[in-house]
């Protein structure tokens, strides 16, 4: 399982994540049980509309059966997802810190994050 863990907001780049997932599936047709789960919170109608558009995009891309949405989950359920996940992606550019990235990495999940701002300077730091 591959996951994304972020609030559903435009700057989190979920639309890009779905396009990336489509490319992964197209280039690796032999992956067994490929699932990409977008985990996050919806703070209201605006965020719910984003999720609706993301579901439509997944359908338009032909990947809806390989995409799952986990919205407003309990902490217990989040930990279950974190235990199952092998890889996480976090695509927001210039995230001011990136607590989601810290939580993913602390859970032992291989985490791919945008090389900018908080994830680059505060969490991972420069390479030695």
- Whether 126 is covered by a domain: the verdict is no
pLDDT of residue 94: 59
pLDDT tens, position by position, 9-29 = 998 889 999 999 999 999 999
- Whether 83 is covered by a domain: the verdict is yes
pLDDT tens, position by position, 42-58 = 999 999 999 999 999 99
Q: How many separate domains does the chain show? A: 1
Q: Residue 91: give its domain's CATH number.
A: 3.40.50.2000
pLDDT of residue 126: 59
- Whether 39 is covered by a domain: the verdict is yes
What residue numbers bound the domain in which 70 lies? 2-120
Using only C-alpha atoms, the chain has a radius of gyration, in whole angstroms, of 14
Q: Is the pTM above the cut of 0.75?
A: yes
pLDDT tens, position by position, 58-115 = 999 999 999 999 999 999 999 999 999 989 988 876 566 566 777 787 788 877 776 6
């Amino acid at each position: 399982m591959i996951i994304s863990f972020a609030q559903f907001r435009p700057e989190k780049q979920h639309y890009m994540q779905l396009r990336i997932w489509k490319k992964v599936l197209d280039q690796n047709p032999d992956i067994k049980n490929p699932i990409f789960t977008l985990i996050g919170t919806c703070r209201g109608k605006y965020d719910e509309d984003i999720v609706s558009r993301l579901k439509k995009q997944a359908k338009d891309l032909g990947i809806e059966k390989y995409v799952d949405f986990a919205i407003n989950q309990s902490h217990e359920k989040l930990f279950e997802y974190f235990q199952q996940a092998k890889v996480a992606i976090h695509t927001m550019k210039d995230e001011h810190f990136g607590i989601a990235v810290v939580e993913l990495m602390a859970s032992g999940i291989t985490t791919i994050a945008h090389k900018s701002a908080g994830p680059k300077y505060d969490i991972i730091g420069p390479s030695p």
